[in-house]
């Protein structure tokens, strides 16, 4: 025959159960808070993404000017830029 003490409050100490709850709550408060650190590489990537946004805006403006026929090309400046590009390589 097996005897179980599952019936009634016998064997249960409500004071001890309350103390366990308080200890668990105190332990939860003593845990360190989460901390996020962004590396320098990630910061550089964020700056690059801002440059690409500016570049996209510039391309859109030029695209609109070309479609409207208001874009004027300076051939001398274009030639200087090409020469400078290949000299600096």
Tokens of 6: 């599952």
Res 13 pLDDT > 70: no
Phi, psi of 73, deg, nearest 5:
-100, 130
Q: Which pTM does this prediction carry?
A: 0.36
pLDDT digits (tens, 9 = 90+) for 17-72: 777 777 777 776 666 677 888 888 888 877 777 777 888 899 999 999 999 999 98
Domain boundaries, the chain: 41-87
CA distances from 62 to 28, 75, 78 (A): 58, 16, 15
Phi, psi of 25, deg, nearest 5:
-65, -40
78 pLDDT band, cuts 50/70/90, is: very high
């Amino acid at each position: 025959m097996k005897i179980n003490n599952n019936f009634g409050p016998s064997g249960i100490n409500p004071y001890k159960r309350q103390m366990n709850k308080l200890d668990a709550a105190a332990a939860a408060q003593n845990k360190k808070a989460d901390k996020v650190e962004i590396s320098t590489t990630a910061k550089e990537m964020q700056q690059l993404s801002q440059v690409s946004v500016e570049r996209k805006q510039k391309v859109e403006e030029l695209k609109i000017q070309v479609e409207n026929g208001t874009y004027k090309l300076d051939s001398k400046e274009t030639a200087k830029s090409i020469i400078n590009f290949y000299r600096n390589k």
